[in-house]
């Protein structure tokens, strides 16, 4: 169990559905690759493949709106403190239906996280949730989202980090141990390139799973594209794992 594969490599696990051989690792995050931007490409009228997807969504959203806060809204003290302490780290601030979100670059994530945890005004001691969302047409397709809460001060904030497919996102497990499994799950589902995580293994999916199910270009139905491609190979791998797992 413990000494199973070290699945840190998310490139190998790219879903290759419907015979689209375009490999995203050739031009990682430089431009929307054919595979990841297929719905967008189909909508634009270009026809990269002779076999178009039968059920392509009409139009894929380009990304979250992340609306800026209205000007007359007073910013909470912890945001002001954050902007004062780390002015370069805050890319943008967003406000929607009562939720504050700060968007920070991945490089500044750890600094922001530590500041928010340790600062007296902010004191976000509780990491509610770590998750991600996938916006394939965008260059930096992933939004990595940290929902924080301060038990002491009773307020919430979300940190959002935009990351490309191979762009490293530092793990915040050192800041909030709670993020350990949540990040594992996020990695399991999205394949965000997490760095510095102490125990990066699949958590919900089987250890030998190929692909990252929560990505938008991952098919909803079917037992996984790997099984579709070569069922016997899948069966063989599966049996092999079952045997080695028996310690």
Partner 1 sequence: MATESAAMFDTDELVLNMGPQHPSTHGVLRLVLRLDGERVKDVDVVMGYVHRGIEKLSENRDWTQIILLTDRMDYVAAATNNLGYCETVEKLMEVEVPRRARYIRTILAELQRIASHCLWLGTHAMDIGAMTVFLYAFRERELILDLFEEYCGARLTYNSMRIGGLPLDLPSGWDAKVRAFCDIMDSKVEEYEELLTNNRIWLQRTRGIGVISGPDATALGLCGPPLRGSGVYRDVRKDEPYAAYDEFEFDVPLGTRGDTYDRYLIRLEEFRQSIRIIRQAVDGLPEGPIMGKVPRLLKPKAGETYHAIESPKGELGYFIASDGRSTNPYRFRVRPPSFCNLQGLRPLVIGHLVADVVALIGTLDVVLGEVDR
What residue ranges bind partner 1 (CB under 8 A)? 1-2, 57-59, 61, 64-65, 67, 96-99, 101, 125-129, 131, 133-134, 145, 147, 151, 154, 156, 158, 176-182, 185, 189, 202-206, 213-214, 218, 220, 247
Structure tokens at 26: 């050739």
Interior/surface letters 164-200, b for 16+ CB within 10 angstroms, e for the rest:
bbebebbbbbebbebbbebbbbbbbbbbbbbeebeeb
Rounded to a whole number of angstroms, the minimum distance from the CB of residue 99 to partner 1 is: 5
Closest CA to 217 of 11, 10, 8, 18: 18
Rounded to a whole number of angstroms, the minimum distance from the CB of residue 64 to partner 1 is: 6
Dihedral-angle region of residue 208 (phi above 0 means left; psi in -120 to 50 means alpha; beta otherwise): alpha
The rounded distance, in Å, linking the Cα atoms of 176 and 130 is: 11
The rounded distance, in Å, linking the Cα atoms of 31 and 16 is: 18
The rounded distance, in Å, linking the Cα atoms of 110 and 92 is: 17
The rounded distance, in Å, linking the Cα atoms of 34 and 31 is: 9
The rounded distance, in Å, linking the Cα atoms of 172 and 183 is: 8
What is the H or E stretch that residue 161 is in?
Answer: strand 155-163
């Amino acid at each position: 169990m413990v000494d199973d594969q070290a699945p840190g490599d998310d490139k190998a696990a790219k879903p290759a559905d419907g015979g689209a051989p375009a490999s995203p690792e050739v031009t990682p995050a430089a431009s929307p690759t054919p595979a990841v931007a297929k719905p967008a490409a189909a909508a634009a009228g270009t026809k990269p493949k002779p076999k178009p997807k039968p059920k392509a969504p009409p139009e894929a959203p380009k990304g979250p709106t992340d609306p800026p806060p209205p000007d007359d809204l007073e910013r909470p003290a912890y945001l002001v403190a954050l902007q004062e302490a780390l002015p370069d780290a805050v890319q943008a601030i967003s406000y929607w239906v009562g939720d504050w979100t700060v968007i920070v670059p991945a490089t500044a994530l750890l600094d922001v996280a530590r500041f928010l945890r340790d600062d007296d005004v902010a004191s976000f001691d509780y990491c509610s949730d770590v998750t991600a969302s996938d916006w394939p047409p965008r260059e930096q397709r992933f939004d990595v989202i940290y929902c924080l809460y301060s038990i002491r001060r009773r307020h919430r904030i979300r940190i959002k980090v935009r990351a490309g497919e191979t762009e490293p996102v530092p793990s915040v497990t050192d800041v909030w141990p709670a993020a350990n499994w949540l990040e594992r799950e996020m990695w399991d589902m999205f394949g965000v390139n997490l760095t510095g995580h102490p125990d990066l293994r699949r958590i919900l999916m089987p250890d030998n799973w190929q692909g990252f199910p929560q990505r938008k270009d991952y098919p909803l139905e079917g037992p996984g594209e790997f099984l579709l491609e070569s069922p016997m190979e899948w069966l063989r791998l599966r049996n092999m794992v079952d045997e080695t797992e028996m310690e």
